[in-house]
Amino acid sequence: MDRTIRFRFLNAHPNWTPPAHSSGYPRPAYTPPSIWLTLLLAAMLLVACGPASAKSDSGALEAQTAQIARDFAADQDLDRAREAVDSLQVANPRQWLMMITEESISAGEDPNTTAALVALTGALKIQSAFIQRYADANGLAAATPVAAATPVLQNLVNTPLPTLAVPTAVQQGGDTAGDSAAAPVVEIALPEPTATPTGPALPQGRSTALINVRNGPGTDYNAVAALNSDELVDLIGKNPEGDWLQVQLANGARGWVLGQLLETSGDLAAVSVVTDIPEPPPTAAPVAAAPEPAQEPAVEAAPAPTEEAAAPPAAGPDFRLVSTRLWDVFENGGYLDGPTVTCGEKRQLVVVVLDANGNRINGVTVQALLGAKEAIVTGSQGKGDGVAEFVLGNGQYVTIARDSDGREVTSDTAYGMSTDPHGISDEALIAGQFCSDAASCNSFRDGWGCYGHYSWTVTFQRKS
């Protein structure tokens, strides 16, 4: 049943007044969400490193990003610019570039630097409706890199012109009345142009939500990365059934995505079939045991936190991810009044680490991969045995870095713990009682329901 979702915040910031928009929900119509991500990122840096250090690090990265854009504007070397962006010391360089560009636009900074940033985001095919509106309004477009000299030009330079026999009676200045004949036309034979071979452009896919990238075509393979909503990737392969697509990420890494979660463009028939697909992990259920779901959630359903996971098998990494769960409305400090969701104020990430028998372990280092990249040892915060707790900004990825004896370990990574409803799957929102079906979840997202105020529990378990 479709429900109309309304929401309000408990303990909301006194100075924040949500602007209205046509659907009747509060929505920051003039400020792009990624700018909030920038502000939250800066706040996390301040907490972890102190005001002076965070400001210095963030300022240096912003200056480095702006210089990359200015260099690209000057030399049009897209390969060099792409390499420089990807080498930035941030978790997601392309998203960082988008945020800095949007922030430069909103702050009204140096128009030349802003134009260079806009051109670079366009050349790298980074999609942002906010940046595109600014580019359209100011007559800006992605810069076109200067191509190297072609063989045709080189042939023209190196080929001597033929010797011409010029008649003595050539009129100067054009035809004149009484001329008995027009000046002769001389034809010069130039070398035939050499066609530069160009292959067809790769088909592309755009993610329709925050979705998992796996190391094989199926949910029984491990998630190795995640695509943000509206992220663009190249399509380089497909499984024999054609329902899973192999993608190449911006950093060159490859993985598999359920095809129906992508908006595709280009000729999918031209995408080659991949036959050397590895077997699923030995712990996975056979593919034939259950049909592929109609939509794979970015954050998979997980048991309640009171249910301890079964002991993992001997194969696989030292620590396996056994559950990722969004807190429900009540756990997060909110409540329901019929169809109305009153949002809680919490934004926590609780990581629980278990041994092979399901007992909580202290002394294990949990590593955050976004923002300030904090490393927190379980049991060290007084939050309980086996627990490491983080404050969520716009979202976080976490993994296990060291065991309780201090040795480095291998570990799964938990992706997608977002505080933006647009990055949370229908399944997770419905389980958390924020909405009841796909239609009401879409309405909830359109109203930016509980934006910035979600909490998650993630559980890892040691192999042995």
- Give pLDDT tens digits for 189-217: 555 554 444 555 788 988 877 778 888 89
User: Is residue 363 scored above 80 in pLDDT?
Assistant: yes
369 with 354: CB under 8 angstroms?
no
- Give pLDDT tens digits for 67-117: 999 998 888 999 999 999 888 887 778 888 888 888 888 788 788 889 888
Instruction: Give the DSSP H or E segment for 256.
Output: strand 254-258
- Give pLDDT tens digits for 335-354: 988 888 999 989 999 999 99
- Give pLDDT tens digits for 205-264: 888 777 788 888 988 787 777 777 788 889 999 998 888 899 988 777 888 888 888 888
Stronger pLDDT, 260 or 307, i.e. the higher one: 260
d(CA 44, CA 58): 11
CATH 2.60.40 holds for 319-462: yes
392 with 419: CB under 8 angstroms?
yes
Q: Which residues neighbour 165 within 8 Å (Cβ) at sequence distance 6 or greater?
A: none
Per-residue pLDDT band at 35 (split at 50, 70, 90): low
Percent of the chain residues topping a pLDDT of 90: 28
Relative to beta strand 387-391, strand 244-248 is unpaired
pTM of the model: 0.39
What superfamily in CATH does domain 204-270 come from?
SH3 Domains (2.30.30.40)
List the domain boundaries for the chain.
7-11+20-137, 204-270, 319-462
Amino acid at 193: P
Nearest to 312 by CA among 278, 344, 279, 353: 353
d(CA 248, CA 255): 7
Residue 148 class from Cβ within 10 Å (0-12 exposed, 13-18 middle, 19+ buried)? exposed
Instruction: Indicate the DSSP class of residue 244.
Output: E
Q: CA distances (Å), 360 to each of 8, 277, 378, in order? A: 36, 36, 9
Instruction: Indicate the DSSP class of residue 159.
Output: S
For 197, other C-beta atoms within 10 Å of its C-beta total: 5
